[in-house]
Amino acid sequence: MEQDLLPYLRDEVIATEQSQQAAAQKMNQWMANGELQSKVAYEYFKPRASKLQWPKDIWLNYAIPKHAFILWLAMKEKLLTKDRLHDPEADPDLLAVQNRE
């Protein structure tokens, strides 16, 4: 199975590195004792997420933990509130009632 994967990896690395020589060097770094080190190859292809800026503003030394936790949930849009439970767009009957008033 590893032999089937190597040509695919080679083509992807060549496309990313823009040269066959750079791709060969990168792939040689992934090999140890003639075997592919999948962890190293995975790290190369793994998508990089941008670092979030808002957590450092929430988790402050002087912040009340309960308030910080609720704000954290709000920033992740995970608060269970009535406005989320009764979303007018999700419930057309509720929208009709609101329009009558």
31-59 pLDDT, tens digit each:
878 787 878 888 888 877 888 888 888 88
Concatenating the DSSP letter of every residue in 57-75 gives HHS-TTS-HHHHHHHHHHH
In this prediction, residues 60-84 reach a mean pLDDT of 84
Residue 69 pLDDT: 92
Residues 96 and 59 in one domain: yes
Q: How many CA atoms are closer than 13 Å to the CA of 39, on its beta-carbon side?
A: 1
Q: Is 81 exposed, middle or buried (0-12, 13-18, 19+ CB in 10 A)?
A: exposed
Residues 62 and 87 in one domain: yes
Q: Higher-confidence residue: 9 or 98? A: 9
Model confidence at 66, pLDDT cuts 50, 70, 90, reads: very high
Q: Which of 20-34, 36-50, 58-72 ranks highest by mean pLDDT?
A: 58-72
Residues 62 and 96 in one domain: yes
Provide the domain count of the chain: 2
